[in-house]
C-alpha cells in the first residue's frame, strides 16, 4: 500500500465514507467530517504513519490536500 492509499484509508475509516469521495477537494465540514470525526481522523493518521501531530498540525488539517502537505513536511512522500 502506498502513502496515498494509506492516508485514504484513514479518511474512509474515520469519516465512514467511500474511497471515491476522498479527493483533494474533501474538506472539513463536508460529508461526515465534523469535530468528532476530526479527532478520530487525527488519531488514525498518527497510528497509520507512526507520528505525533502537533496542535498546529491538527487545526491546520482542514482538507485531504492539506493533510498530504502536512505529512509531506514530515518527510512522508505522496
Partner 1 sequence: MFWEFHNIAKANTALIDGLTGIDLTYQEIDSRCNVIATMIKDVEKRLVLLFCDNSAYSIVLYLSVLQSGNAVFIANARMDEKLKESLISIYSPEIIFSISKLPYIHAEYDCQDIENNYSFYKAKVSKGQPTIDKDLAVLLSTSGTTGSPKLVKLSYKNIQSNAESIAEYLKITETEKPITSLPMSYSFGLSVINSHLLKGASIVCTNSSMVMRDFWNLFNFNKCTTFSGVPYNYQMLQRLKFDKLELPTLRTMTQAGGRLSEEFIKYYYDAAISKGIKFFVMYGQTEATARISYVPFEMLREKIGSIGIPIPNGQMKIFAGENEVSEPACEGELVYEGENVMMGYAENRNDLSKEDELLGKLHTGDLAYKDADGFYYITGRLKRFIKLFGLRVNLDEVEKMIENEFSAPTACYGNDEALKILIQSEDDNFASVIKNKVIEFYKLHHSVVFVKSVSKLPITSSGKKDYPLIQETAGL
Q: Name the site residues for partner 1 (rule: CB under 8 A).
A: 16, 28-29, 34-40, 42, 54-56, 58-60, 62
Pick 6 or 46: Cβ nearer partner 1? 46
Q: What is the DSSP-derived secondary structure letter of residue 75?
A: T
Pick 33 or 71: Cβ nearer partner 1? 33
Give me the least distance between CB of 61 and partner 1, in Å please: 9
Instruction: Compute and round to an integer the Cα radius of gyration of the chain.
Output: 11
CB 33 within 8 A of CB 26: yes
Closest CA to 22 of 5, 38, 39: 5
Pick 4 or 16: Cβ nearer partner 1? 16
Amino acid at each position: 500500500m502506498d502513502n496515498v492509499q494509506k492516508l485514504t484509508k484513514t479518511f474512509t475509516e474515520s469519516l465512514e465514507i467511500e474511497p471515491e469521495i476522498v479527493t483533494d477537494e474533501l474538506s472539513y465540514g463536508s460529508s461526515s467530517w465534523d469535530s468528532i470525526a476530526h479527532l478520530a481522523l487525527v488519531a488514525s493518521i498518527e497510528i497509520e504513519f507512526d507520528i505525533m501531530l502537533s496542535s498546529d498540525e491538527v487545526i491546520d488539517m482542514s482538507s485531504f490536500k492539506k493533510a498530504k502537505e502536512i505529512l509531506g513536511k514530515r518527510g512522508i512522500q505522496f
